């Protein structure tokens, strides 16, 4: 079941997605054998308290969240969590966030070399204060600048998590590939809104939130496929995966691995079930590894 994401070999094709697994230390009924790796909850240099409630609302086949990247800051992460990661038998990537390229760079420099930190997943869906709050991920130059800033400060794998809120994901994908990304993670949540008709107001206090869950899966498969067609580096598919068949769709559409997120809220065994289901699918067809799956990835 092992897969190669660039130079890094994962023992399985499934990672736990950022923001749905905390720092991996509080996950209930965790079956570690099924995890190829884990991406930590997004972290900033400094602690952040997050947004006021309500922070989540369920929508048809999905949920909106506006947590506001609540977190303890990088020093607490290094002190409280990294030592535990160093003892685990799967790699932990840190999802890094900042308000400027310099902040991403500082965060990377601080985490690089810390035992337990296997690599970085750059969240480029953050507002860039130096560009009037424009999201890094919506601008190929800003996305590339952040990637470059991180790349220059570490030799560990650097993955970039792409936002779907763009008109052409291939443009961003190529820009961060050129800036030195080792892999792409596609995709982050879609921005959405839900209105409470009792009070004529948005249900979330932040007004908008990130939509996740099976509701976004066909959109995510398409965007991950588009990203995979645009670049030569591996793409890790994310978006509404709840079953092995869902994950296999991403793999056939051109992804090397997948991340499972919201499904674990619903089913604590989701990752193990996806893992075992992929193994059964491959076994039934005489395929020895996920890399042997036929890919639908026309190059034009």
Partner 1 sequence: MFLVDARITGKRLVARDMYVITMHAPPIASTVLPGQFVNIGWSPGPMLRRPFSVYRVDGERIEIVLKAVGVGTAQLLSMTQGDRVSCLGPLGHGFEFGAGPRSAVLVSGGLGVASMTLAARQAASLGIRVTWVHGARTKEDLCSESDGDDLIWATDDGSKGVKGTAVAAAPDADLVLACGPNRMLAAVAARWPEAQVAVETYMGCGTGVCLGCAVPLKRGGYDRACREGPVYRASDIDWATLPSHLSYAATP
Q: What is the set of active-site residues?
A: 126
Is 170 a binding residue for partner 1 by CB under 8 A? The answer is no
- Identify the sign of the CA torsion 274, 280, 285, 291: positive
Is 267 a binding residue for partner 1 by CB under 8 A? The answer is yes
Is 27 a binding residue for partner 1 by CB under 8 A? The answer is yes
- Least Å from the CB of residue 131 to partner 1: 28
Structure-token pair, residue 153 = 């400060």
What SS3 state is found at 257? strand
Q: Give the interface size with partner 1 as a residue count (CB under 8 A).
A: 42
Which residue shows structure tokens 């006021």?
52
- Least Å from the CB of residue 111 to partner 1: 21
Rounded to an integer, what distance in angstroms lies between the CA atom of residue 254 and that of residue 228?
A: 6
Answer left, alpha or beta for residue 61, where phi above 0 means left and psi between -120 and 50 means alpha.
left
Is 196 a binding residue for partner 1 by CB under 8 A? The answer is yes
Rounded to an integer, what distance in angstroms lies between the CA atom of residue 33 and that of residue 145?
A: 37
Start-to-end CA span in the chain (Å): 30
Q: Which is nearer to partner 1, 24 or 119 (CB)?
A: 24
Q: What are phi and psi of 34, to 5 degrees?
A: -85, -10
- 266, 280, 291, 297: which one binds partner 1 (CB under 8 A): 266
- 203, 217, 225, 275: which one binds partner 1 (CB under 8 A): 203
- 155, 199, 286, 298: which one binds partner 1 (CB under 8 A): 199
For the chain, the C-alpha Rg in angstroms (whole number) is: 18
Is 77 a binding residue for partner 1 by CB under 8 A? The answer is no
- Least Å from the CB of residue 75 to partner 1: 17
What SS3 state is found at 183? strand
- Least Å from the CB of residue 139 to partner 1: 28
Is 52 a binding residue for partner 1 by CB under 8 A? The answer is yes
Is 213 a binding residue for partner 1 by CB under 8 A? The answer is yes
- Name the segment binding partner 1 (CB under 8 A); options: 97-105, 107-115, 137-145, 267-275: 267-275
Is 154 a binding residue for partner 1 by CB under 8 A? The answer is no
Structure-token pair, residue 135 = 């999201």
List beta partners, residue 237.
186, 258
What SS3 state is found at 142? helix
- Least Å from the CB of residue 246 to partner 1: 14
Residues that bind partner 1 (CB under 8 A): 19-22, 26-29, 41, 49-63, 65, 67, 70, 194, 196, 198-199, 203, 205, 213-214, 262, 264-269
């Amino acid at each position: 079941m092992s897969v190669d994401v660039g130079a890094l070999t994962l023992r399985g094709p499934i990672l736990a997605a950022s923001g749905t697994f905390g720092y991996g230390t509080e996950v209930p009924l965790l079956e570690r054998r099924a995890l190829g790796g884990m991406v930590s909850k997004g972290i900033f240099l400094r602690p952040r308290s997050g947004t006021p409630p309500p922070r989540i609302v369920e929508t048809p086949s999905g949920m909106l969240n506006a947590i506001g990247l609540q977190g303890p800051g990088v020093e607490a992460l290094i002190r409280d969590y990294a030592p535990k990661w160093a003892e685990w038998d799967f790699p932990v990537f840190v999802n890094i966030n900042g308000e400027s390229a310099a902040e991403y760079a500082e965060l990377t420099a601080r985490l690089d070399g810390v035992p337990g930190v296997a690599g970085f997943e750059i969240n480029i869906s953050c507002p860039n204060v130096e560009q009037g709050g424009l999201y890094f991920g919506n601008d190929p130059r800003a996305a590339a600048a952040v990637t470059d800033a991180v790349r220059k400060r570490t030799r560990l794998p650097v993955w970039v998590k792409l936002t779907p809120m763009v008109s052409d994901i291939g443009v961003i994908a190529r820009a961060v590939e050129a800036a030195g990304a080792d892999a792409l993670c596609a995709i982050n949540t879609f921005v959405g809104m839900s209105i409470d008709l009792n009070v004529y107001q948005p249900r979330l206090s932040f007004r908008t939130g990130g939509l996740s869950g099976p509701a976004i899966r066909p959109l995510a498969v398409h965007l991950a496929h588009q990203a995979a067609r645009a670049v030569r580096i591996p793409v890790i598919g994310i978006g509404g995966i709840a079953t092995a068949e869902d994950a296999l769709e991403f793999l056939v559409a051109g992804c090397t691995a997948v991340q499972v997120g919201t499904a674990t809220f619903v089913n604590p065994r989701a990752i193990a079930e996806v893992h075992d289901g992929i193994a059964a699918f491959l076994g039934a067809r005489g395929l020895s590894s996920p890399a042997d799956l036929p890919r639908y990835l026309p190059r034009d």
